[in-house]
Amino acid sequence: MHILPCPSRTPRSSGGAAQASRAASRGNPLPDRTRLRIVTSMPALQPHPDRLLPADPATRAVARRLYALVRDLPILSPHGHVDAGVLERDEPFADPATLLVTPDHYVTRLLHASGVPLTELGVGAEPLDEPGARHAWRTFCRHWPVFRGTPVRHWIESELAEIFGVTERPADGTADAIFDQVSAALAKDEFRPRALFRQFGIAVLATTDDPADDLAAHAALRADTSWDRRVVPTFRPDRYLEPAADGWAAGVAALGRTADVDTGTYAGYLAALARRRRHFVEHGATSADHSHADVRTDPLDPCTAADIYARALRGEASAGESLAFRRHMLLEMARMSTEDGLVMTLHPGIRRNHHGPTFRAFGPDRGHDIPTGIELTDALRPLLERFGTHPGFTLVVFTTDESVFSRQLAPLAGFYPSVYVGAPWWFLDAPDAIRRWREAVTETTGFTRTSGFVDDTRAFCSIPARHDMSRRLDAGHLARLVLEHRLEEDEAAETALALVTENPRRAFKL
């Protein structure tokens, strides 16, 4: 259904106000000239070729030229959550709902906010049978208007149209036809994970992995002579750095067994972490990823750290001691990065599992992680005093707190050679937020001190749509600078290329 304006009518008298009043009294609050008529049809799903480019014709013309330079370049994805086992096994994706809806908390959170129970979307019931998958897909399509104005709408339209050739907009009346069309495609060899990986033009994909993971899927991919792309692990030690977290002591013991190191002492604990980091480096890792409530890096002297560690193993450490230990351990992780070369990435300020009942019923990563405010300048000073100018150290900082972009983060990256401004992440990986980010950081730190785009997704098929979105937005930003005579077009072209190629390679050592 779409809406068209009715043709204007020639009034019989000049009493416009009276005419509007009479219209309102008949139940029509608008004058005839603005009345709308509803046409029943289903508009086609046709992503516009100029989507997200500037509306001004002159700026759009330059943006088109810049976008054309980067549109088809290989994708470097330095941080995400796709399971390497999906590529190693290379099994067909099960169904449209399991691929595009159920695992994607961007999708499920907005539907949940609109009154759709997560069970209606198949969450917690994986793997779905055919009736369950079709029901979840129908529910998603029925609520398609929920996504208007969001990046989710942009990504899924691109996925459906450009990957699967869908030409109808998701809706109650089109759900089954779209489900059948996508299901038929997923049954073909060219829609298996590895084939799509090549079709998407992904050159490098980084996963996110537990330090105790044996990385068998990564090893198998590296040993497979038929596989010509690069998939690398990322060291994610959060759960081992938080003594106050449930199961911390058991996790540390398991880490020690995996590393073949006795973690009964603080020295053994540090040795186990260092050994597992080296194991990740040997399997191609280039970065270590950290996400805590804050990024304070206040140091403890070794004796105090060892005492808190021992007390934490016995379950006797206070909340304050546990917090101090975690903050100290972020500093230790930076020190280890100067030794093994892993890029340190920080994305703090998220209150995990905000809704306890949802967490207890469905577990983590179900859409109820909510951002908080953060402070960076003083929090990172101990770390940067020690390692900010170290030639082997690289720190990429992401945040969902827009208030620190120009006030703290860009100035830090504008001085310390180790610091890069991470791309807009999570709730900010949306068109207008990305534009605000570019405006906020570029005047202070330029383009070279930014990380390149980071998709940070579990939704495999959204990777090309997300990177394409970033390339379009950067083309638009650079085009405006050209039209304002702040850059020459050849400089804008060089910058557009660098943001896609040089920046992520440099920041993430790819």
- pLDDT digits 0-9 by tens, 242-251: 999 999 999 9
More confident residue, 179 or 359: 179
Task: Label the pairing between strands 287-290 and 343-346.
Answer: parallel
Q: What is the mean pLDDT of residues 211-216?
A: 97
pLDDT at 330: 98
Amino acid identity of 281? V
Of the candidate ranges 51-60, 135-144, 215-224, 348-357, the one whose mean pLDDT is the lowest: 348-357
pLDDT at 365: 85
Q: What is the mean pLDDT of residues 215-226?
A: 96
Q: What is the mean pLDDT of residues 47-64?
A: 97
Decide if pLDDT at 207 tops 80.
yes
Task: Compute, in degrees rounded to 10, the torsion defined by CA atoms 349, 424, 159, 215.
Answer: -60
Q: H or E segment at 45?
A: none
Convert the pLDDT of each residue in 413-433 to its tens digit.
999 999 999 999 888 999 999
Whether 399 and 422 have beta carbons less than 8 Å apart is answered as yes
Q: Which two tokens stand for residue 280?
A: 């990740």
Decide if pLDDT at 28 tops 90.
no
pLDDT at 40: 46
**Sorting pLDDT into bands at 50, 70 and 90, what band is 130?**
very high
pLDDT at 502: 98
Decide if pLDDT at 22 tops 80.
no
pLDDT at 38: 42
Angle, CA of 255, 257 and 259, to the nearest 5°: 70
Helix (H, G, I), strand (E, B) or coil at 331: helix
pLDDT at 24: 40
**Sorting pLDDT into bands at 50, 70 and 90, what band is 19?**
very low
Task: Give the chain's mean pLDDT.
Answer: 92
Convert the pLDDT of each residue in 136-148 to its tens digit.
999 999 999 999 9
pLDDT at 42: 59
pLDDT at 118: 94
More confident residue, 40 or 123: 123
Of the candidate ranges 42-46, 369-373, 495-499, the one whose mean pLDDT is the lowest: 42-46
Whether 348 and 395 have beta carbons less than 8 Å apart is answered as no
Of the candidate ranges 18-22, 339-343, 397-401, the one whose mean pLDDT is the lowest: 18-22
Decide if pLDDT at 4 tops 80.
no
Q: Which domains does the chain have, with CATH numbers?
A: 2-39 (no CATH), 94-190 (1.10.2020.10), 233-459+493-508 (3.20.20.140)
Helix (H, G, I), strand (E, B) or coil at 470: helix
Helix (H, G, I), strand (E, B) or coil at 191: helix
Task: Compute, in degrees rounded to 10, the torsion defined by CA atoms 422, 423, 427, 430.
Answer: 170
Decide if pLDDT at 77 tops 90.
yes
Decide if pLDDT at 224 tops 60.
yes
The model's pTM? 0.90
Decide if pLDDT at 16 tops 80.
no
DSSP letter at 93 equals P
Q: What is the mean pLDDT of residues 465-482?
A: 98
pLDDT at 496: 98
**Sorting pLDDT into bands at 50, 70 and 90, what band is 44?**
confident
Q: How far is CA 30 from CA 1, 3, 5, 22, 35, in A?
A: 21, 15, 12, 10, 6
Nearest to 310 by CA among 351, 278, 341, 269: 269
**Sorting pLDDT into bands at 50, 70 and 90, what band is 170?**
very high
Convert the pLDDT of each residue in 258-317 to its tens digit.
999 999 999 999 999 999 999 999 999 999 999 999 999 999 999 999 999 999 999 999
pLDDT at 140: 98
Decide if pLDDT at 1 tops 50.
no
Q: What is the mean pLDDT of residues 50-66?
A: 98
**Sorting pLDDT into bands at 50, 70 and 90, what band is 41?**
low
Nearest to 339 by CA among 274, 256, 295: 274
Nearest to 125 by CA among 113, 144, 141, 139: 139
**Sorting pLDDT into bands at 50, 70 and 90, what band is 10?**
very low
pLDDT at 427: 87
